[in-house]
Amino acid sequence: MKNPLPQKGAGGLYHPTIQKQIIALVNKASHENLSLRRRDAAHSLDYQNIINK
């Protein structure tokens, strides 16, 4: 079974939620000779509070 690409968000960015979607994005970038950048989500969550609770 082929790995499913995640849907693009409103800003034109992909937001994968499972590892298979990340693999699909890496494969797509590789086959189309594209660059792939990740964007951290740490700006939207307070991880220290999550870890300490």
* This prediction's pTM: 0.65
Q: Give the pLDDT confidence of 36-46 residue by residue, as tens digits.
A: 888 766 555 55
**SS3 per-residue string spanning 8-50:** ECCCCCECCCCHHHHHHHHHHHHHCCCCCCCCCCHHHCCHHHH
Q: Give the pLDDT confidence of 3-27 residue by residue, as tens digits.
A: 789 988 888 888 888 999 999 999 9
